[in-house]
Amino acid sequence: MSRFVQFALFAFFALAAFVAVVRAEDKFYDEDGKEISFFDSEIGDPDFEEDQQEKRSLNIRGKSSFGMAKRSLRKTEELFTHGPDEKETLWVNGVKITWYASQDLKNPACGNGSWDPKNSHHIGAVMKGWEHGPSCGDFIRLCNPRISRCVRVRIVDECAACKSNHVDLTKSAFKRLATTGTLDEGLTTGLTMWLSSKPNPWDLSLFGPFKLQ
């Protein structure tokens, strides 16, 4: 083997080893021990009421395009409203949900300091120190039996005005669980809460960065 070939081989394996070490640091595993794959839809859950300005622009688009938006919306709805999964266990009955939005979502108590959830995320806030309840980073599944719908949500914030059995949600998550399917009622009761697992694949635009702190 020539010196050059030896060197080239050495360089190749050294690089391969380096890449393996660097990549190993970025690996995360789900509850089944499978490596979590991450993707960024950049959309999250599109079913939420944006601020006034965007609502207006939607109206300007006219009837026909609005109809199309509605159709595709129905499709995405199925993506987010199934469950509970086989392995999920019932946590508590009689849960109340409310919603919070936009500015209030910023700088969540369990955040990493520079990540801000949006209305299109599926995240929520609960009281600090809910005994036997979920805390920072936990995944829960909320189901509204009256409309046979569930949404998986990640707890990333604290809700000062909440007591136990109360989850404050983003508009997108709330709307899918609200009995009327709108934000109008502001509050929905009688939900079941299930202990859920980490999503795999994991949409960064839905659940935020893997590492919160």
Ligand X SMILES: *[C@@H]1O[C@H](CO)[C@@H](O)[C@H](O)[C@H]1NC(C)=O
- Identity of the residue numbered 72: S
28 binds ligand X (CB under 6 A): no
Output the smallest distance, CB 137 to ligand X, in A: 13
DSSP states of 61-84: T-HHHHHHHHHHHHHHHHHHS---
Contact yes or no for 154/138 (Cβ under 8 A): yes
Q: Which of residues 102-161 bind ligand X (CB under 6 A)?
A: 112-115
Q: How many residues does the chain have?
A: 213
Nearer to ligand X, 59 or 114 (CB): 114
Nearer to ligand X, 92 or 204 (CB): 204
How many residues touch ligand X (CB under 6 A)?
Answer: 5
How crowded is residue 167: how many other Cβ atoms within 10 Å of its Cβ? 27
Q: In angstroms, rounded to a whole number, what is the distance separating the alpha carbons of residues 196 and 149?
A: 15
Contact yes or no for 98/169 (Cβ under 8 A): yes
Output the smallest distance, CB 209 to ligand X, in A: 3
The residue whose Cβ lies closest to ligand X is: 209
Burial class (CB in 10 A: 0-12, 13-18, 19+), 38: middle
Output the smallest distance, CB 114 to ligand X, in A: 4
Nearer to ligand X, 23 or 74 (CB): 23
Nearer to ligand X, 110 or 143 (CB): 110
Q: Which of residues 191-210 bind ligand X (CB under 6 A)?
A: 209
Output the smallest distance, CB 156 to ligand X, in A: 11
Output the smallest distance, CB 174 to ligand X, in A: 23
Q: In angstroms, rounded to a whole number, what is the distance separating the alpha carbons of residues 142 and 144?
A: 7
Q: Under the rule (CB under 6 A), what is the footprint of ligand X?
A: 112-115, 209
